[in-house]
Structure 1
């Protein structure tokens, strides 16, 4: 169906717009990856999630 965007395409575009937040979250996890525990990078994850959701809704 022309003009219709698949959800995975929207998600891929949103992910591409959040590279800064992805890098910050990845660095947080990488800093102590041998001792990862719950909520270790919760703040960074929430910023990444918010970016994904905002970018997804724009699309």
Structure 2
């Protein structure tokens, strides 16, 4: 019998494959955390998002 993978497990696996992108995004936010605003680090966020999506689909 094959065990089902819970959504949180799939998310955790995807997150673990995107540590470099997460680090870059985090550094961008922390660089000037007193003036965080919409789209502050949009390029870094989009790279992180795309990494998560690709990893979740098993393409990374």
Number of residue equivalences = 59
How far is 1:4 from its partner? 1.1
Runs of 4+ residues deviating >2 angstroms: none
Write 1 or 2 for the structure with the bigger share of helix: 1
- Corresponding residue for residue 49 of structure 2: 49
- In 1, Cα distance between equivalents of 2:23 and 2:8: 21
- Corresponding residue for residue 15 of structure 2: 15
What is the CA RMSD across the aligned residues, in angstroms? 1.5
- In 1, Cα distance between equivalents of 2:28 and 2:55: 22
- TM-score by structure 2 length? 0.91
